[in-house]
Chain A
Amino acid sequence: MDTKRKMPVLPVEAYTSQEWFDKEQEIIFGNAWQFAGLVEDIKDPGDYITVQCGLQNIVVVKGRDQRIRAFHNLCRHRGTQLLRAVGKKQKALTCPYHDWTYDLSGQLISVPEKEKEFPDLEIDKICLHKASVDIWRGMLWVHPKPNAEAITKWFDGCWERLGPHDPNRLIEYPDSVYEKVINANWKIIAENYIDVYHLSHLHSNTLQMYDHANAEYGFVGDHYLFWEPLSKDYHENLDKLLPFKRIKEMTEEYIGAYVPWLFPNVGLSETEATWSVFHAIPLAPDKTKVIVRTKMEEMTDWEYYKKGIKSYASWHGIMGGDTKYGNEDSDDPMASGDFMAEDVYACEQQQKSLKNPLFSIAATAKHGESTVRTFQGIVERWMSNSIKEG
């Protein structure tokens, strides 16, 4: 493979080869705290979800003591996957293969025909392999290692540069999840996000809502943090233009958009009216599933609907916004789906052009090059450090 072609820091095959992809899964995704969902995804004791962390599948389950535990999703008997996808209010975790049963703290509690088949097995010495789990900013995070560094250490320095939002308090409206498989490497999506241009993901006409010239951004550890103020026109007409109810904590002191990229694969978008988490899940070298979940202030259905329409209409009226998405389905004020189309297209095109022998970096280095370069440098460091260690 042509190793001279760079992106500009990482080689092109970092975005195209299966070998790179597998190594990344092991080295980065097997050693990093990863987004597993929102706290309310496991509400009651016995609720569980499963999450892929690199090569390993992890079960996250809530105990009766309200603590959340994470285990590797394999039965200690023959290594069969223990649980599928999600479950509610389980009393215990039972492997479908031979019905070995574990309690909610991962302890083996029963083995069928134990006396006959496993007379010497010391049941109380067998526990599911532990992983780490914690809650940070209303989100569940898992780490495949049992004694991972504290989540607050992993995100050291980030919290103070994020919005005043309290995601726990905000509401996720039904059917508001955006999910799409994008034909591009996960890093292309990350790089697109940390490009200033990414703000256009948030709303159909957001480019005019924020004052890009006064954006403040940079890396804190391996995480990218970004903030920019509102544009003057938007700020002055905020009550009229706000797409949804203003986030209560978003007082004048804090107003602006907070749009970090948390290493390796999670973007947040914390604005005056919404809080969203953008999860880019690598599926293949050229395939990434993006899931965006958005929370807002609590509103009645009618308020939710009306607010969305109102701001959509007045935004066009006052700001004379472009009509790029003018034919958008106005029943769906979230516009979930279409608002990212442009960037999805950009990412997919870039991925495609990597195959073109004429591809060279001059074509991609235009926007936010320094941030992209730093991000690639971080990926490169992770890969080379761990290779040395391993």
Chain B
Amino acid sequence: MQTVNDVLSESVRKEIEHWLTKFPADRRESAVIPALTAAQEQNGGWLTEEIMNAVAEYIGMPRVSVYEVATFYSMFDREPCGRHKINVCTNICCMLMGSDSVVEYIENKLGIKQGETTADGKFTMKIEEECLAACGGGPMMVVDGHYYEKLTPEKIDTILDGLD
């Protein structure tokens, strides 16, 4: 049987430990988001059931509570995905600023629809992204955690082409 240590690498466990120090001892669950983030990173961008169970065991919280968190937040993926995750905000402000055409442009450029991954495993377009709190810069997107605002086709090309 695999143990937690087999599933979570030492650096992930270190990272979790680091976050655990930031919360009271009886509030270990508070570290679940950074813990899942680190574990997802280690696994190439997505979470398996095994990883979620290991995180639950490591922190000492019910598995179901970890699943709840992992399914709630759109930054967690539970299926294999590309090396780069593109999140285009399609909420109201960005929509008014033309996010629909941003989506269309990227879809055409990469040949995938929202929610799909390119055949070479390079890009995943997340299915639908709600307000990412950069309304003033709409239309905008987040790629691998970096915010890009006031998007234009040229800008998108530079950003995406610049990734390996």
A and B: interacting chains: no
